[in-house]
Structure 1
């Protein structure tokens, strides 16, 4: 996203996009909102004496912006450049005006899954990114705070702190009529009448410009629920959707019921299940029914460049207009929606508001609805749960889970060269699917290189001379399309060393440096082509040769090469100028003894 401070709107966020922690849903970022800002804060007092428009009359930026400190911003405070005219001189300042911090959100998920048990299954703590700013308007101090959590929800909040105003024009802040306020402390007039802090509204309207997956068309959908049961019967609720074709107001009790909700969707962007991606607007606040502009809980219009503020609009293209005018004057299909979300709060002062007043909040949420086929932070062992049909498999997680380790047994009474080893997969969870098993044989924990440099992958393995003195085991992988795989290793099986076996023919290992390309200016461009031959009396040695190249005590190259007719070759690259030692070891086989060769190499 992009974040900035506007002189009037204060904190402005643009190009808000979300990237899941894995590529299971999609790779990279997808757009959610094009723009988000506070479009008006209207404060009318119940006694009718004063009414303020804090955004369009004062503004949350400029001199009203409060610099962040370590207390107000434990995270990162971003500098904001501001300019203004001061006595005819253009003055520029940079202040830490935007706070960005990661915060914990508490327990995010917990599931035992199996009904009637208390076996621990899944529990996660959540986290979120907060972006905020502070502004002082008269006695009130406001925090604009937008919170983005790890599963895609956006919490849009306005918090108010500061102090209760001590006086006011014509007794607006403290009057004597208890019908318009609440008595704070023991303050009285000269005539001995108790005074009351005037109750008032904070009518905050946010402008939310949707951009679901950067769609060329986006629709607003209204959902209403009706009870269709016979009178006196158990309630039976039906949900019906209606696509809103034109700009409109959503007014409680008139154009919407208490259980009506709205979402904005992109019909051309589908999740993995084929459902259109959308965001739902969750707003459970109270609109001010007596002021027409602030009576709708929400209003929807198409994007228009001059419609910046919900009331007392400052843009020269449509000066002084309000959201009422925007809806009335709207033309054409509603297909690029802006939501004007009203989060009204009726502040009836209390003794505890003194002093300073504890922060009180008015907020709404933008919640992903089918933006993902599953929540973006879903655990691997629940990834296969998508829709109905999984309830019969409550005992097992989706990921392949080993319950009893694989085993390796020798066919015959003893282990020797030529002995066949047989692997079993062990026991795995198989309630949700049947697994397919693959086998990888390991020598001392490392994959064994087989014929043509391939790994032996079957359930059976024949012991070779190269396995003398080593510990052999098998790694089993359980897999199934659409499910996360699992791995498990068997206990190792010790192969007797070669000195317990009959000795074969004496062997000789030789190293021949076929070609050395020298390095230049000490750079690592030198390379050597090595050829190793192993010869034996009355036999052709088989198996592998281990090759090491050392510079001093440091090993700079290691390779295991398979003999073919008693010979093998390899290339050592990226050699600096200097002296090297080459060692080739042959472990022997059933017909030939072990041997080694050592030679020096110099690269200039």
Structure 2
């Protein structure tokens, strides 16, 4: 993210001219150490109407027998939104709904020098920066045409910018048979859905991976190039990436927040549970571990730590073993940004409110309504919980970030827990081994 953002007409395409101007000692406006004028701010765009005609439908049966179904739409601020997401592994008579909606909730970018702070989705034209994709970027897949709303011009632009394809991920499992030399193994497959949005000098790759075992991975990868307006900004921040001590690039954070509205088994009346485990040493004897579940009945903010996890549990559906279906949150590596309430915690669970769509600088609610997700955590009873997941990355530039900059990923997963009675990829030979298959279930 640049400290000084250029208008879209002058960002990446003007790189050569901008660098030449800097080299010659020229400045544009106030110079590289002072913020350039921002591009005109997009007005709050009206939410796109739900449309699941063939053009907006994604349905993929993977080689292992699992089918994922969903609808997609494109919002004037949030960018790509996926709705009505369902999962149907082999052996299940009908699809199992997982999410009512999944979307980015904000990309918050504060700079270490304290001079700049950006909210890319709501304030910096993230959605309008959808990039066209070449066929080589979507191998074996389909690139869909997206209508990108431009609130300033009052029209839409068509961009071939949404890739849907499949990718191998390696072993889904491997198990040596109890007798003989037979090995049970299979190679997993994912449905990949992704788009790329440019904001200033950065390009964000918003990626959804739907695994054949029911896992959903959500990641944002930042790539593109470091902004030359950051170099030697006179703030003493960051690391030099030029010859000797030159071209010190200002350090900054990328705090990515996702908004997930679950609808397990078709109902949004889900419940949230937190699990904590306590390990007790016992001298030379083996230690004991006790796990305690807590029902989260009111809005809350939580922090990940060792031996803690959360799950969202279906209020209506059970698997064939009679266990309530649920999805567990599995966080990825994260550096929480402690200076803002909306990035201070790893998760926020709020009661559904149709206007609460962005974790910071939310423009969708009426005047007087709080604009930040941490302010929405105010003790309401959770009957329709919405999960906000925060994953932070502190970017301290390195020589290898130029040029172009390698992708750095940040994200998390939601993993099925008791959605099916057995591994959904279980081979036919082992289908009868549910529970204690030696002594009987």
**2:194 is the alignment partner of 1:139:** no
- Superposition deviation, residue 60 in structure 1: 2.6
When the two structures are aligned, how many residues end up with a matched partner?
369
CA–CA distance in structure 1, aligned partners of residues 149 and 291 of structure 2: 53
2:436 is aligned, of 385, 388, 393, to 388
- Superposition deviation, residue 234 in structure 1: 3.5
2:300 corresponds to which residue?
248
CA–CA distance in structure 2, aligned partners of residues 83 and 265 of structure 1: 36
1:200 is aligned, of 239, 252, 256, to 252
2:393 corresponds to which residue?
345
CA–CA distance in structure 2, aligned partners of residues 15 and 85 of structure 1: 26
**Greater RCO (CA < 8 Å, at least 6 residues apart):** 2
Verify the 8 A CA contact 2:175 2:183 in the aligned structure 1: yes
Note closer, same or farther for the CA distance 1:383–1:135 as it changes in structure 2 (3 Å cut): same
**2:381 is the alignment partner of 1:317:** no
- Superposition deviation, residue 85 in structure 1: 6.2
CA–CA distance in structure 2, aligned partners of residues 240 and 205 of structure 1: 28
2:406 corresponds to which residue?
358
CA–CA distance in structure 2, aligned partners of residues 120 and 227 of structure 1: 38
1:70 is aligned, of 135, 141, 163, to 135
**2:163 is the alignment partner of 1:94:** no
Verify the 8 A CA contact 1:312 1:320 in the aligned structure 2: no
- Superposition deviation, residue 27 in structure 1: 0.9
Verify the 8 A CA contact 1:175 1:197 in the aligned structure 2: no
- Superposition deviation, residue 258 in structure 1: 2.5
User: Please, what TM-score do these two structures have when normalized by structure 1?
Assistant: 0.58
CA–CA distance in structure 2, aligned partners of residues 348 and 321 of structure 1: 29
CA–CA distance in structure 2, aligned partners of residues 346 and 389 of structure 1: 48
Deviations along 1:204-251, one digit per CA (max 9) or x if unpaired, are 000011111112521100000102334675332111100001000003
CA–CA distance in structure 2, aligned partners of residues 347 and 113 of structure 1: 46
Structure 2 runs not aligned, ≥5 long: 1-69
Where 1:325 maps in the other structure, the secondary structure is helix
- Superposition deviation, residue 323 in structure 1: 0.7
Note closer, same or farther for the CA distance 1:59–1:212 as it changes in structure 2 (3 Å cut): farther
Where 1:361 maps in the other structure, the secondary structure is strand
2:308 is aligned, of 254, 257, 260, to 260
2:34 corresponds to which residue?
none
Where 2:123 maps in the other structure, the secondary structure is helix
Verify the 8 A CA contact 1:8 1:58 in the aligned structure 2: no
2:240 corresponds to which residue?
183
1:528 corresponds to which residue?
none
1:222 corresponds to which residue?
274
Where 2:287 maps in the other structure, the secondary structure is coil
Where 2:229 maps in the other structure, the secondary structure is coil
CA–CA distance in structure 2, aligned partners of residues 85 and 237 of structure 1: 55
1:124 corresponds to which residue?
186
CA–CA distance in structure 1, aligned partners of residues 436 and 234 of structure 2: 61
CA–CA distance in structure 2, aligned partners of residues 196 and 232 of structure 1: 53
CA–CA distance in structure 1, aligned partners of residues 247 and 196 of structure 2: 31
1:151 corresponds to which residue?
213
Where 2:286 maps in the other structure, the secondary structure is coil
Where 2:136 maps in the other structure, the secondary structure is coil
1:19 corresponds to which residue?
88
CA–CA distance in structure 2, aligned partners of residues 85 and 338 of structure 1: 28
Deviations along 1:39-96, one digit per CA (max 9) or x if unpaired, are 110111112121111111123322x11111112222200111234367x6x5443221
Structure 1 ranges of 4+ moved more than 6 A: none
**2:99 is the alignment partner of 1:33:** yes
1:303 corresponds to which residue?
352
Deviations along 1:11-55, one digit per CA (max 9) or x if unpaired, are 1001000111x2x3x312111000111111011111212111111
Bigger Rg over Cα: 1
CA–CA distance in structure 2, aligned partners of residues 314 and 12 of structure 1: 17
Verify the 8 A CA contact 2:197 2:204 in the aligned structure 1: yes
Deviations along 1:82-126, one digit per CA (max 9) or x if unpaired, are 34367x6x54432212110011111211110338x7x23211111
CA–CA distance in structure 2, aligned partners of residues 183 and 320 of structure 1: 40
